[in-house]
Structure 1
Amino acid sequence: MDAKTIAKAQPLYGQAAVRTTLNELGVAGHLRRVRQSIPPGEGVSGSRWVVHTYWSRTARDNEWWATFLKGDATAETPRATSGAPDSQETDAQEPPEADEDPESSGAVPPRTANSPCLERSSGPSVAYDTLARLGLQEPRLALSAADCAALEQPAADWMARGATPEHITHALVAGLPDHVHSPRAFVQRRLVDKMPPERTVVAPAPGPRRNLLMECTDCGVPGRPEALPGGLCRGCRDRAGSGSEVSGPSVRRPDPTVRELAARVRAGMRVPQRA
């Protein structure tokens, strides 16, 4: 996404106008150019660098872009595609709001699937319904309503440890004897003896640090994010007429001494030379 490539596809504007527009987008916080180091592959030696152009519909400040390069940005992170350099990017979809209705978004409420005992006002729990369906799959384990209510808590403990209704049903009906005299006692014994272990939550290991280096939007000089505020290096900011931020088009103004020299040349040309 450089000025030369865009100017070829835009006949109404040249490279200077496109470069000025890219600089203004970078200063506004929508655009950044980043170099990423690619590790050598099979049969390839040495380091390789791929240039990515990151675009965000939401304007971001310099601190946010610096945090993004460190891999710590969490909200609406722009994506980059690997491959040819100077590839144009689009920003990622925003996550749903925290107060969004679970029914409208298709999400399952927290206490629907793996909840111990729900209130009877909201209907039977998943554990109760799983025990009640045992008789449909295995007539030898048909339970009454009182049996399901008494065994509901052990079945809920299974679900609290990550078991699904299918897992509980398979553990209860597998390897049944020919005759089950007391289905309630048999199911209770299996629920206690085959209780799954408690799962420990293991924090995911931090991923590898990304080797990224920001690049000046105008001239392409690499540097650290704090050295390129607005995506421009110091030389490009000075040419734009400001020491910190670009407030107008990035146009190089002519030196006043050039006009004076040109005026002297024109004045000398008007005076007739003597033979």
Structure 2
Amino acid sequence: MTSAHISAALRAPAHRMAKAGFGKRHVPDEAPRGAADFVHLPVREAAIAAYIDRLPEGAAIGYKVLAEELPDYGQQACRSALDRLTRAGHLRRIKVQITVEGSGLRWVTRTFFSRAARSADWWARYIRFIRGVDAPGQPAAPDEVPSSQPEPGVPAARSEAYAVLAGLGGREPRLQLSEGECVALEQLVQEWLVRGVGREQVSQALVSGLPASVHSAGAFLRTRLENKMPPAPQPKKNEIREEIVGALEMCAFCDEDESTGTLVDGVCVECRADIDRDEANGATGDVPDTFLARPRQRTDVAARVAGLRAAAGRRAVPGPRAR
């Protein structure tokens, strides 16, 4: 396995932030970060994915910015890597329409990153019903999206509020809920979260001080959620409040969106053709050593990635060769 220059993936250095309201966003309900999160990807894509994963919300993660921050790769290499991450289901670029208090409607562009690889149907549900990130009060996402090619085994997107309710039965058997009861109570729990109460605090408030017997867990929890609802937070001075009113999937690399063109796995036909042409011409490799501003940082990261692949029963994937 050739040496992959991915030491940057192990840290989250100072990185350029996007304009206020734009930039990177996490999707909800992510599993904790693990060492083998991206072993299914080629080495370069795994490195860039790990780097993006550690960046804060609002970071600029366009291919030009990444090329500046990761000097081993040029712009074409970073664009090709982002294309593969998008195809694999880790990225989607979304144009979000928001109402901003005092200034009416406006559009912002955000790139949503998922540590787990998601299916196209999952992203379709999420784009239609963005929730759990910064869009309180949005309608609940449907469990299914009609598809001519259903993907068995892909779970429906679930909100943090739903997860709180679904987990109560494991903490207190008297509060075991059905799926329908979780859905019915989801918005009440979401309102608690919006009002600044953390997930663990909500769970504790619901399971503590129970009576000797609970005849109907759903009815009991509804009463408790309504009666103990915390006060709505008062807006801070000079705080800008926004509400999402619409969302459209955009091409990961240009201004084309689903209302004006055809997107396949998050990329328009024209951009995909450009990237394929660059790859065919060999224009997406590493930056040659002679063009680097500083020597490459040779580390044991490549060996670590190879070990993770071996542990997962996968053959090592060669990284791109310097041109």
TM-score category by the smaller chain?
Answer: 0.3 to 0.5
Q: Which has the larger radius of gyration?
A: 1
| TM-score normalised to structure 2 length | 0.36
Structure-1-length-normalised TM-score: 0.41
Q: Which has the higher contact order (CA 8 A, sep 6+)?
A: 2
